[in-house]
Structure 1
Amino acid sequence: MAVPGFSEYAHHIYDLDSAISFRDAVADFDHGSVAIGISRLPFKCPAAPYEVAFLLDDYFSRKGSRGNIQINFYTPEPNPVPSVGPEIGDKVLKLLGSRGINYIPRMKLKEVRKENLVFESGDTMDYDLLFSVPPHAAPEPVVKAGMTDSTGWVPVNVKNLETKFPGVFAIGDVASIPTPKGYVPYLPKAGVFAHGQAKVVANNIAKTIVGNGKTKEWGGDGACFLETGHGKSAFMEGKFLEEPKPLIDFREPSSMWHVQKVAFEKYWMRHWF
């Protein structure tokens, strides 16, 4: 699962210390090549690395150094954010192109070296600053408990999130939910899904304990902002388990969606912290 050289040379934002280290590296960077990418699938928050690319373009533009910086985006995916379908993926691809961000799909990372990336295809990519989504895996206790399957994650009943162990549930990133009618084989890992699943599971556990109430089922609804920088965000929402195919709507980037995204973030920060 590990990618040789990743921990030595790649920056990421998936823990606090790493995020601070990346922030400092970006602040000191004013010319050269930035590589942004995805090392392995799946990973949490499918939009996150794309947001990093847009925000770096914004940051370097405001600093006046964007003309001295090349941004390359690599991914094993066939198109941007594939879980929302090729039509929306094309819209994101055009947004990347409009910012001068080079998009290189179907590139699976094999090794990270000090100044270049090596892909399984044999291709390489030079970089001066590297951001990459690290490989994701289920927590070790979950694996040792025998809850995972060949996907490396915990299979569940899609309607009630129950695992193969009766009365034991798995929600959020750790769950493996097939989407045979979807654009990708499995439901993407995103906080909005964890939130909806938690409500269903909590309700049903409470019903079991108190002996009354209505059993709820999770329907696969989700929504997500896509921060595009320059004071704008896009917005996506839809039904990811709908048949014969998911119904997903894409709202073009605007300052209105950005304001709503910031308000959404502030709500949760106040709510939990």
Structure 2
Amino acid sequence: MSFGQGGPQWGPGGTGGLGGGPGGGPTPDWAALAEASEARARRRKWLMIGGGALATVAVATAVALTVVSANSDDASASNKPASELPATADIPGASDDPGPTFKPTTPPPPPDPKDFISSAKKDKAPLTPEGLFPGKTFTSGENVYKKGATDSTKQCASVTQPALGAILTKNGCTRLIRASYVKGSLAVTIGVAVFDTSAEAAKVKEQVDKGLVNALPGKGVPGFCRTGVCRGTYNAYGRYAYFTTTGYPSGKNVTTSDRKAYAVGDTMARFAFQRINQRGQAQASAAAAGPE
């Protein structure tokens, strides 16, 4: 067998020529083969990276699903509207017991001051001329009345005109306190008669229609109402009946048109009422405060 033309070929489709492979066949295209190999390697690499990423996503998804599943009860409850939330009794730690309750109480009404001055059984505060008519003056608006003499007696009729004295005695007067004041040309004596009950004092007010408390001079108040006409007032509050005698130390008569004299007498009558009422208020306040 010769080594010339006409021998066996290297591979199918081979062509004869110089510089061939063994046996004189054609040389492989090494560059193309290398490129193909690199391409295949790159495809495998990207497939591996893509597969790893998909696996990572799958694992993360599985973990997320597990977390959501584990917390599904709390998450669903926290996102529910208020109308769908469990009732208070269904919430752990909650209780239907509203706690201690207290019955509403109404404080007792304060004592009535008049109750304390309507009966000797409750009217226990000291009773003296100075306590009833304190100070040296009494001021009403712009008018100042200077206080003069005061006194107190258990013989009520002894310091009144006979008509008034008889009524005081008949109804059980236990004491009569007097205090005199002067303002300008006028003088006035206040008389406060004391009884055991308010009913007795009220009877005096109903029965008296004439008679005056005797004017009390002294300590800056000159004698008055010894002669001439004076004006008197009568009233009662609680167990006290109170009177005023108003006149001129000059002896001038008080007439029904003497507005000045009437104003002085009415002012001092209100003052007597205020002092008696204040006595009741003081005892009512002490009773409301209770024992110290």
TM-score range, shorter chain: under 0.3
Write 1 or 2 for the structure with the bigger share of helix.
Answer: 2
Taking structure 1 as the reference length, the TM-score comes to 0.19
Higher relative contact order (CA 8 A, sep 6+): 1
The structure with the largest alpha-carbon Rg is 2
Taking structure 2 as the reference length, the TM-score comes to 0.18
